[in-house]
Amino acid sequence: MALHPRRMKGGGALPFERTRTLLLIQLGDIGDVVYSFPCARALKEIMPEVKLIFAVQQKAAGLVEGCRWADGVIPVGVKQRGVWKTLIHQWRFWRDVRRYHFDLAIDLRTGTRGAILAFLSGASFRLAPYALDGTLWRNRLFSHLVMPSGKKHQFIVEHYLEIMMPYGIDTEKLFPEISVSSDRLAEADRLLASCGLARRDKVVAVQPFSLWGYKEWQKEKMAALIRQVHEDHGLPVLIIGGPDERARAEELAALAGDGVINLAGQTSIALLPAVLRECCLFIGVDSAGLHIAAAVGVPTIGLYGPSGFATWAPKGEGHVVVHKKIPCVPCRQKGCGGSLKSRCMDELGVDEVYSAVQNQLVSLK
C-alpha cells in the first residue's frame, strides 16, 4: 500500500461510532465507480452497521446494485430541463438527499459537484482529497482533507483508499467485485437465448469502443481479430457497447463475418455484469466493459495505448495487458501530442493481440 498521505485539515478522528448513515460520492465515469467498490468494502469492514449510500452519475446508477457493501444509490443526472422543471427537480433531489440524515460524507474526487453534494448533504463530517485548485472555495466545504500522495503509477483503488487510510479505513481486498443476482443471470440467459446461444455455451465478449477515440483500435484490425477467434476456436463473439455505438458495432460485425452477435445497446448497465459473467473471455480497450468483466471474475485482455495501464488495468491472475512496446507508452496524453490520435494503438498488430488471446483460450480448456 501507499504511504499514508498527509492530513491537511481535520486532525481529529472521524466519528465512526456515531455514524449511522454515510454518503460515498463517486461522480466519475463507470470505471471509476467499479474501482470505488473496494472503498465501500473498507468502510463496511470498520462500520458493518452503517447505511452506506453511493452517489454516482445517472448512467452508472444501475451498477451499484452489484455492490454488496452499498445500501442504496443517489443518481446524479445532468439532463437539460427548462427553468421551472429544473427548480422542481432540484427541490426534490435535495429533499430526498436530506432525508437520509447523513452523518459522514466522503468524496473520492476533487471536483466541485461532489463538494457541493457533500456540503449540502447535511453531513457534519465531510472528507475528501485536497485539491490544489480548490483553495478559493471547494476545499472549504470539507471538514477533513487529505493531501494525495501523487504517485504517478499508483493503482486507482489505492489512490481512492489513501484519503481514508489516515483515519484507519483500509482493506486488503483491492480488486473490485460485482455480485450478480440470480434474477439478473436469468435475464442474461434469456437475452443470449434470443440470440441463439444455449446456457453455458462458451462465448467471447469484445468491447471495441471507448468514450475517447484515441483509446480505440482500428475497426479493421478488431474485425480481423474477431474473425480469427471464431475460425480457430469456433467461439461466438459478442460485441458490447452503448446504444449510440450500435451502428458502429453493426459495421464491425459486417467486417468480421460469421459468428458475431451485436449486443451494443441491448444491455442496461445493470444487466451488463450478468451478460459478461456468462462469457469465458473478455477482450476490450480501456473502457467500462473491461473493468466490469474483471469484477465479475471473467479473464480479460486489455488493449492499452496512451492511458496508464498500471493505474487502470485489471489486476490479478487471468488479466493480461497488451500494448505496443515503444518508449512513450504510456504517455497519458489525449493522443500523440494531444492530437486525439494514438500511434501506439495504430501500430498495435493483430498478431500481437491474438497471441495473448490464444494463450488465454488455451489456458481455459
- Give the per-residue pLDDT at 88: 87
Considering the domain architecture, whether residues 143 and 186 belong to the same structural domain is answered as no
Q: Is 343 left (phi over 0), alpha (psi -120 to 50) or beta?
A: alpha
pLDDT surpassing 50 at residue 1? no
Considering the domain architecture, whether residues 228 and 296 belong to the same structural domain is answered as yes
Of the candidates 355, 358, 357, the residue with the CA atom closest to the CA atom of residue 300: 357
Contact 291, 316 (CB under 8 A): no
- Mean pLDDT for 299-312 is 95
Q: Is residue 141 part of a domain?
A: yes
27 CB contacts (<8 Å, ≥6 apart)? 55, 56, 57, 76, 109, 111, 113, 114, 117
Between 79 and 37, the more confident residue is 37
- Give the per-residue pLDDT at 152: 83
Domains: count for the chain = 2
Using the 3D structure, point to which of 102, 132, 167 is the last residue of a domain. 167
pLDDT per position as a tens digit, 151-176:
888 999 999 999 999 999 999 999 99
Considering the domain architecture, whether residues 119 and 262 belong to the same structural domain is answered as no
Rounded (10°) angle between helices 246-256 and 219-233: 50
Q: Is residue 156 part of a domain?
A: yes
Q: Is residue 231 part of a domain?
A: yes
Question: Which domain covers residue 85, as residue numbers?
Answer: 7-167
- Mean pLDDT for 272-295 is 97
pLDDT surpassing 70 at residue 339? yes
- Give the per-residue pLDDT at 4: 45
pLDDT surpassing 70 at residue 116? yes
Cell 493505474 sits on residue = 311
pLDDT per position as a tens digit, 228-252:
999 999 999 999 999 999 999 999 9
Considering the domain architecture, whether residues 120 and 254 belong to the same structural domain is answered as no
CATH number of the domain where residue 84 is located: 3.40.50.2000
Q: Residue 309 is which amino acid?
A: F
Using the 3D structure, point to which of 126, 144, 167 is the last residue of a domain. 167
Q: How far is CA 158 from CA 2, 66, 164, 165, 294, in A?
A: 7, 21, 10, 10, 17
Considering the domain architecture, whether residues 151 and 41 belong to the same structural domain is answered as yes
- Mean pLDDT for 324-338 is 92
Separation CA 99–CA 78 (nearest Å):
22
Q: Is residue 119 part of a domain?
A: yes
Of the candidates 244, 240, 316, 335, the residue with the CA atom closest to the CA atom of residue 285: 240
| C-alpha cell read off for 129 | 482529497
The model carries a pTM of 0.93
* Mean pLDDT of the residues in the chain: 93
Q: If pLDDT is split at 50, 70 and 90, which confidence band does 3 have? A: very low
Considering the domain architecture, whether residues 215 and 359 belong to the same structural domain is answered as yes
Considering the domain architecture, whether residues 146 and 197 belong to the same structural domain is answered as no
Considering the domain architecture, whether residues 156 and 289 belong to the same structural domain is answered as no
Of the candidates 242, 323, 309, 237, the residue with the CA atom closest to the CA atom of residue 280: 237
Q: Is residue 59 part of a domain?
A: yes
Cell 468483466 sits on residue = 293
Q: Is residue 174 part of a domain?
A: no
Considering the domain architecture, whether residues 113 and 138 belong to the same structural domain is answered as yes
Using the 3D structure, point to which of 167, 193, 220 is the last residue of a domain. 167
Contact 97, 73 (CB under 8 A): no
Considering the domain architecture, whether residues 154 and 205 belong to the same structural domain is answered as no
Q: Is residue 17 part of a domain?
A: yes
Specify the DSSP class assigned to residue 61. G
Considering the domain architecture, whether residues 147 and 23 belong to the same structural domain is answered as yes
| C-alpha cell read off for 286 | 480501456
Of the candidates 109, 198, 91, 204, the residue with the CA atom closest to the CA atom of residue 148: 109
Separation CA 27–CA 76 (nearest Å):
8
Considering the domain architecture, whether residues 158 and 189 belong to the same structural domain is answered as no
Q: Is residue 173 part of a domain?
A: no
Separation CA 161–CA 37 (nearest Å):
10
% of the chain at pLDDT higher than 90: 84
Separation CA 190–CA 182 (nearest Å):
12
